[in-house]
């Protein structure tokens, strides 16, 4: 698939899967850094069903040069342009015995540095000392997400299920999904592959039933400046 095909697929369907962005050696280097990190801080969430690290790039700055290898940086430049920067990052580890699942939803909030009452921004939430707010629709439409897969992900260990083209339907509540017209797709991604996704794409993930682990690094990008008084909480230039 060419980068033109990838761009067209994202625009049409809301997602695209690219294989072989990372070698097995690079994946091992990434997981070694994660496994050797102190996880006692406030941005770390641990349970029997899920291990998550919010503000991932801030917590592990030494991992950036491995994550943003030449293959990924070139792909981002060709598909989206050279002016995008990272604005949010989360690491998910779904253990093999996990019964954790996520119902259909859109990603409707951004992470910001403070709470400021600005027209068009709201409602507000706070998670682990991080302010989040729903911004105007045009800002959400500008964002794209990269999901980096450190394990093979398939229908049996919680691969994302998406409703193709739903990102073009603005705010789309899960309870209003019309299954007579919508198409659900299971997004299986091999180890070392990535998935591009638009945040407004309706997506969900199921329970793990094959006892295989699923580790994913989720990074969101934008090239937009926020209104005066607000700043991206995790802005990082990577290109």
Q: Is the pTM of this model over 0.85?
A: yes
Quick: pLDDT tens for 200-236: 999 999 888 788 889 999 999 999 999 999 999 999 9
Domain map of the chain by residue range?
A: 3-222
Q: Looking at the predicted structure, is the pLDDT value of residue 27 above 80? A: yes
Q: Does domain 3-222 have CATH number 2.60.120.620?
A: yes
Q: Region 165-173: what's the mean pLDDT?
A: 96
Q: How far, in Å, CA of 235 to CA of 172, rounded?
A: 27
CB 196 within 8 A of CB 221: no
Residues in the chain: 239
Q: What is the pLDDT of residue 98?
A: 60
């Amino acid at each position: 698939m060419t980068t033109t095909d990838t761009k067209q697929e994202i625009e049409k369907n809301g997602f695209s899967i690219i294989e072989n962005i990372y070698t097995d050696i690079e994946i091992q280097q990434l997981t070694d850094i994660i496994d050797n990190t102190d996880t006692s801080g406030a941005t770390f969430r641990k349970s029997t069903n899920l291990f998550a690290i919010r503000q991932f790039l801030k917590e592990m700055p030494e991992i950036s040069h491995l994550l943003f290898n030449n293959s990924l940086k070139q792909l981002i430049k060709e598909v989206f342009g050279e002016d995008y920067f990272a604005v949010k990052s989360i690491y998910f580890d779904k253990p093999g015995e996990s019964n954790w699942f996520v119902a259909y939803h859109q990603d409707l909030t951004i992470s910001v540095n403070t709470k400021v009452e600005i027209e068009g921004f709201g409602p507000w939430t706070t998670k682990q000392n991080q302010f989040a707010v729903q911004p105007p629709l045009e800002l959400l439409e500008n964002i794209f997400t990269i999901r980096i897969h450190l394990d093979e992900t398939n229908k049996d260990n919680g691969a994302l299920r998406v409703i193709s083209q739903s990102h073009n339907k603005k705010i789309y509540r899960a309870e209003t999904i019309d299954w007579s017209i919508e198409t659900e797709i299971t997004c299986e991604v091999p180890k070392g592959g990535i998935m591009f996704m638009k945040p407004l794409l309706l997506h969900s993930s199921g329970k793990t039933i094959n006892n295989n682990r699923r580790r994913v690094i989720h990074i969101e990008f934008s090239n937009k400046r926020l209104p005066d008084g607000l700043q991206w909480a995790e802005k990082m230039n990577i290109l």
